[in-house]
Amino acid sequence: MNKQDLEERLIDFAANIILFTDYVQKSFAGNHLSGQIIRSSTSPALNYGEAQSAESKRDFIHKMGICLKELRETLNCLKIIERAKLSSSEEVKDKLKKEANELISIFVASIKTAKNNNDNKKLKEEE
């Protein structure tokens, strides 16, 4: 997957989460979680754009880590909504959980690769 494809996937994910909040119960808890999940799901798309303009490898890894944390937060929000039975659309929620898990896996692998590449670069510089 190239950078543009991942960026588009993150934007689609954020937009789908925003649309999903229409299916979340309008209550104190539902409204709170809707606001939280909108913030956490839009953050990765925005921070991924920032990561592409990182000033260093370390900065890139840090920004990618923020994306990962926000994706995990989004997944946890979906699980809370599920367990509290606050959603009227199980199908949409399940698709979003699957996408969140896939995106998390992509970011874990990307961060691992970036760290390994950074470590290898440091080793070569020390030789």
Q: Does pTM surpass 0.85?
A: yes
pLDDT (0 to 100) of residue 61: 95
Residue-wise pLDDT tens digits, 39-93: 999 999 999 999 999 999 999 999 999 999 999 999 999 999 999 999 999 999 9
**Average pLDDT, integer, range 15-25:** 97
pLDDT level of residue 1 (50, 70, 90 thresholds): confident
Structure token digits, residue 37: 């999940």
To which residue do tokens 């809707």 refer?
Answer: 34
Checking if the pLDDT of 120 tops 70, the result is: no
Checking if the pLDDT of 100 tops 80, the result is: yes
Task: Judge residue 123's burial from the number of C-beta atoms within 10 Å of its C-beta, 0-12 exposed, 13-18 middle, 19 or more buried.
Answer: exposed
pLDDT level of residue 94 (50, 70, 90 thresholds): very high
Q: Which domains does the chain have, with CATH numbers?
A: 3-126 (1.20.1440.60)
pLDDT (0 to 100) of residue 2: 85
pLDDT (0 to 100) of residue 41: 98
Among 21, 28, 11, which residue's Cα sits nearest to residue 92? Answer: 21
Checking if the pLDDT of 38 tops 60, the result is: yes
